Structure formats: structure tokens, C-alpha cells
Amino acid sequence: AQKITQTQPGMFVQEKEAVTLDCTYDTSDPSYGLFWYKQPSSGEMIFLIYQGSYDQQNATEGRYSLNFQKARKSANLVISASQLGDSAMYFCAMRETVGNNRLAFGKGNQVVVIP
Amino acid sequence: DAGVTQSPTHLIKTRGQHVTLRCSPISGHKSVSWYQQVLGQGPQFIFQYYEKEERGRGNFPDRFSARQFPNYSSELNVNALLLGDSALYLCASSFRGFYTEAFFGQGTRLTVV
């Protein structure tokens, strides 16, 4: 069964606008972590933000924030004030303790920022 | 500080050959994980090592093996290469086995012909 679902088609975003990338997850593990990564065309996977299942506050890192809705099993990434360099694939991933702490990734969201 | 380094960055091999990919984690990090990313998909977990012991194995055939050295660097070995092994192989480094951050290297792009 798919643990991470990212179903949005490729997105075009105007520079300086905000964009929200959807991610839903499936787990019965009470202790888990959610990650977002950015993968530009060069291939490297760049860590953006982390949210723990017990964290009370939504995680924020600079222009990145995670809209964590635990009851809905949703962990959407919000990028504020988009920049041209934000054009990339974005992956949502989950770590479960029952899964030997492996990261399970979604299929990714393609974002293109246009001037 | 150096990030996660992987070598080589690109590799072309022939079907049936063997390949060794290398990863050096961030200094102080004791956990290394390997992932395979085929074109158009998210990375798939292959192995995790923590303190030189295998802590997790993904759904990959026995042709895939790995090890972690005393300095926490790691090797991924793939025997009897198939065309389907063509992918980007990513190494992730974290401080411990249960982590809140995992940093990836730039990957090794393997092409099997």
C-alpha cells in the first residue's frame, strides 16, 4: 500500500507567489516523522523541513512551512515568496519506527517558477 | 563542513558486471542509508546501517549488498547487473538510527547497458 501520496500534476507558479504542495500519508505507527525534500535537475536531494508526529507546532524553516493536520494525515508544504531557484521536484517522505526508520517517499511534485 | 559525498558521480556498466558505490557521511554521523531512484519515481529504500550494523533492508534482491566501515563510510555493491538497475543511487547520512534530519549526497548515476 502506498504510504505517501502526492497526486498534484506539475505546477507553474508566479515568482513571489506562495505555493502549497499536498502530501497525505498512511501509517498506524504513533511515532513517525515527515520530511520534505527538494530535488533540482542536478539530482541531489536537499532536506527542507521535518515534522514529528508529536510536535505540537507546525514546522517552519525560512520560506518553508509545513501544514501538519494529524487527524487528516496530511503534511502539506507551503513555500512562500517563490523564487526562480525553487523550480524543482519536491518529495514528501515519512519515517516510521516500525519500518526500521527507513524513509518512504512519494512520487513527487514538479514545480516550475515563472518570472 | 563537508556534506555527504558519493563516488563516482556517474558510471556506465555492462549487464552482468559488478559495481561498487561509495558514500562518506557527514562528520559525526553514524547512520548511512542507501536509496535507489529510477527515473520519474521517488527514492526506494535499499539498506540502513547504524554503528556498522545493518538495521534495515528494503525489498531488493540478494544481488544488492552493503557494509559500513569503522569510519562510518559505506559501500553499496550490486552483482550481476541488470538493465533495470539503471538508476540514481542516493546515500543518506544521519546522526543516529532514529533521526529528525537525513542529508543526502549528490548521488551516483548508474547506467547499465
Tens of pLDDT, residues B18-58: 999 999 999 999 999 999 999 989 999 999 999 899 988 99
From CA A24, how far away is CA A57, in angstroms rounded?
A: 18
Cell (9 digits) for B14: 555492462
The contact set of A with B (CB < 8 A) is 4, 33, 35, 37, 42-47, 50, 52, 91, 93, 95, 97, 99-108
Nearest CA distance, A57 vs chain B (angstrom): 15
Q: Are strands A46-52 and A32-39 parallel, antiparallel or unpaired?
A: antiparallel
Q: Do A103 and B106 touch (CB under 8 A)?
A: no
Q: How does pLDDT run across A2-50, given as a tens digit for each residue?
A: 799 998 888 999 999 999 999 999 999 888 999 999 999 989 999 999 9
User: Which residue of A lies nearest to B40 if distances are taken between CA atoms?
Assistant: A107
- DSSP SS3 for A79: strand
Count Cβ atoms below 10 Å from residue A99 Cβ, excluding itself: 18
Mean pLDDT for all residues in chain A: 93
From CA A6, how far away is CA A36, in angstroms rounded?
A: 12
Query: Which residues of chain B are within 8 Å of residue A47 when distances are taken between CB atoms?
Result: 101-104
**Type of residue at A35:** F
Residue A77 β-bridge partners = A21, A66
Q: Do A103 and B41 touch (CB under 8 A)?
A: no
Q: Is the sign of the CA dihedral A36, B30, B64, B59 positive or negative? A: negative
